[in-house]
Structure 1
């Protein structure tokens, strides 16, 4: 449909700038408003290079991927890992 239909969790300024359309839920911790009416103005005032570096460092080199146990589950079609096993990885 061209946009994410529900609430999101996107705490990083750079990720919001890259990923969000104006009419999607903002993704910040404090809002159910559309991005355009919430954080977009403030995000656009932030130094883009600084925010890109911060995002990259906090996202383990900028590579977003599921934990290995989830990938194994998908590939092997085995029993899903427990939530406790996944939270121990973060």
Structure 2
């Protein structure tokens, strides 16, 4: 934790029976009037990984959730890297994990200003092809890198011509069947929002981490 505290001086650590909660602020750009605040759940149990939520915070306004682009379904948590990318692995360097969240927030800011996502992205890699296709058609813009994970090809020049041949109604049915709530499910748990807004104490990790049994 010492290295993380040096890189992120605002880092606060709160114990939970299932792990450690981290609350940390990150200054994205010099002169920016808001900061990115991350609430990170680090479970003790191996194999389930961290869960984190990002918020824009400023002294003169209420916290604003950062999303929904590149957040996870069912809980709106940060999706900053693919597990098989090798960017960070469970038990790895904590400052690196927080750096990845910071880069994610910087990309969210870029998307907010310029209207397209900068950098590599994945469209539910590993899930059935129909889900990947629907995700790309719904989320990826023509001038963004393709959601197949390409590092060089824009969506319009990569998977979109093939994706566009699918039956959209059938894709929607399969997507909603596989992911209850679909894209609308990408929102933080109420208990996370209540904590960030100062309306409630820090929640039990088991109540908001999808891969932990509820307390």
Q: Same fold (TM over 0.5)?
A: yes
Q: CA deviation at 1:67?
A: 5.2
- Name the structure where strand makes up a greater proportion of residues: 2
Distance 1:56 1:79, change over 3 A: same
Distance 1:80 1:2, change over 3 A: farther
Scaled by the length of structure 1, the TM-score of the pair is: 0.69
Match of 2:86 in 1: none
Q: 2:159 aligns with which of 32, 35, 39?
A: 39
Matched, 1:73 2:196: no
Q: CA RMSD in A?
A: 2.6
Residue deviations 1:14-73 (CA, integer Å, cap 9, x gap): 221122211112112x422211122101100111111111111122132322452xx422
Divergent runs of 4+, >4 A: 78-82
Following the alignment from structure 1 to structure 2, what is the Cα–Cα distance between the partners of residues 25 and 8? Answer: 7
- Residues 1-90 of structure 1 mapped to structure 2, 5 A cutoff: 1-11=114-124, 12-28=132-148, 30-32=149-151, 33-62=153-182, 63-66=184-187, 68=189, 71-77=190-196, 86=209, 88=211
- Name the structure where helix makes up a greater proportion of residues: 1
Q: CA deviation at 1:3?
A: 0.6
Instruction: Name structure 2 gaps, 5 residues minimum.
Output: 1-113, 125-131
Following the alignment from structure 2 to structure 1, what is the Cα–Cα distance between the partners of residues 154 and 176? Answer: 25
